[in-house]
Structure formats: structure tokens, C-alpha cells
Amino acid sequence: MIFGAILAGGSGTRMHISSLPKQFLPLDDKPIIIHTVEKMLACSKFDKIFIGINPSWASYMNDLLGKYEIDEEAVVVVVGGENRNSTIFNIIEGIEEKFGVSDEHIIVTHDAVRPFVTLRIIEENIEAALKYGACDTVVPATDTIVVSQKNDIISDIPNRIYMYQGQTPQSFNINKLKELYGKLSEAQKAVLTDACNIFVMNSEKVKLVMGENSNIKITTVNDYKIAQYLAIGGTESD
């Protein structure tokens, strides 16, 4: 079976423009996260979509799903974890409670605050995860990447043709993800910020899926302004 997983476990308000977590901020005519849910629902290949939410906002999320008439049979709200990966594993636990454990289960994880993901990206993630076991959505790096291991001195400037910027979705065979996570040391788990790195740390291949420049993550005030423009039909080339 194939499951969508929307990661909305954070409660941060780093943009300082509202007391709401950023995934609940309005975008055009509805909250950011509702746009994201609707994009995932547009893919008919999902058997169920799970939302991992901060427990303080779970009731609010359920109210939003009702307000915007989201099919309650299609979407399940579960409690998120303390960080990105723990939210993913909480969602996996919810999946397995309802649908059991299977070597065939695929999970497509996506940031709640990337509301401009396309159906093409989602479907290519599903295809790649089914074929390769893991994939990451990326776009080619357009700026030179500078590496500094001492913060104020350049350590390396890698060749830009090999550099990509990570987006989401990131998609995985669930049993393989659990197996490889279990092989990591506690020290490795402590510094883990990206689910694809679970595979990389275990020397497993991760297939690249090409994203879109418009598939932005709304993190800063400037991101939010760009998203508002895109939501009303603007393009980045305008």
C-alpha cells in the first residue's frame, strides 16, 4: 500500500507575524496546510494520507479538515514527534496499527509548508520508491556552494554540477527505512536531520527525483510573501 505523510509536527513561529504555527497561516483563501493536503489528495495512488501534528494543535487540525470538507476517510491525524524523523516514525506506527506490517508499504513524506508540490513530483516519488526503495526530491544548485568547517574560513568549494538542493517529498519502503534506522548508532541518530541520510549512512542508494523551483518551503517572511504571490497565479519568472 502507498501512504502520504504530511509532516506538521512543529509549533514554531519564527516568522513572528502570528501566534499560529506557520503551517496554519492563511495563503490566498485557506491555510497553507490545507493547500498541501489537497495537493496530496489529488494523487489517486494513495491508500491513505496521514498528518503528523504537534499534539497541542491536533484538535485545531481536525477542525480545519472539517471546515474545508476534507474527506475524513482519506486523511488521518496522528501525534507528531519531537523532530522530523520521530514524526515520520510516529506516522509509520499509525500506519501499521491500521494496516499491519508489510514489505510492500511505501511512505511519501512531505513538508506541510510546501504547498506547491506538483502531481508529477508526487507520482515520480511513488514510482522511484517502489523501484529503488528510497528517493529524494531535488533541484540543481544554482549558486556556488561554500563549505566551511570553522565557520569563518572556507574549507572547500565543490563543483556545482554535482550539487543539488533538497526538497520534499522524500519517499521510502517503510520496512527498509525501519531496518536501516535500527542499524544506526545512538550518536548517528542524534545528529540525523534528514530521513534520506538514514540510507546514505548505511551506504544504500537513494534515487533522485527532479523537483521544481516553485516547490518552495515557507520558512521565512520572504518565503511567505513569495508564496502569497504564487498562490494568486504569479510565477517566479515574472
Beta carbons within 8 Å of 225's beta carbon, 6+ residues apart: none
Tens digits of residue pLDDT in 142-195? 999 999 988 889 999 999 999 999 999 999 999 999 999 999 999 999 899 899
Give the C-alpha separation, 232 to 227, whole Å: 9
Q: Is the peptide bond before 115 cis (omega within 30 degrees of 0)?
A: no
Mean pLDDT, the chain, whole residue set: 94
CA distances from 41 to 15, 71, 174 (A): 28, 9, 20
**Residue 157 burial (CB < 10 Å; 0-12/13-18/19+)?**
exposed
Tens digits of residue pLDDT in 77-105? 999 998 999 999 999 999 999 999 999 99
Return the residue matching grid coordinates 498562490: 231
Closest by CA to 10, choosing from 20, 48, 114, is 20
Q: Determine the pLDDT at residue 238.
A: 47
Q: Name which residue leads in pLDDT, 9 or 164.
A: 164
User: How many other C-beta atoms lie within 10 A of the C-beta of residue 9?
Assistant: 26
Beta carbons within 8 Å of 160's beta carbon, 6+ residues apart: 141, 143, 144, 145
Q: What is the dihedral of CA 206, 207, 213, 218, to 10 degrees?
A: -40
Residue 25: how many CA atoms within 13 Å on its side-chain side?
26
Where does 1-154 have alpha helices with state H?
32-41, 58-67, 84-99, 119-132
| Longest CA span, the chain | 54
**72 band by pLDDT with thresholds 50, 70 and 90:** confident
pTM of the model: 0.93
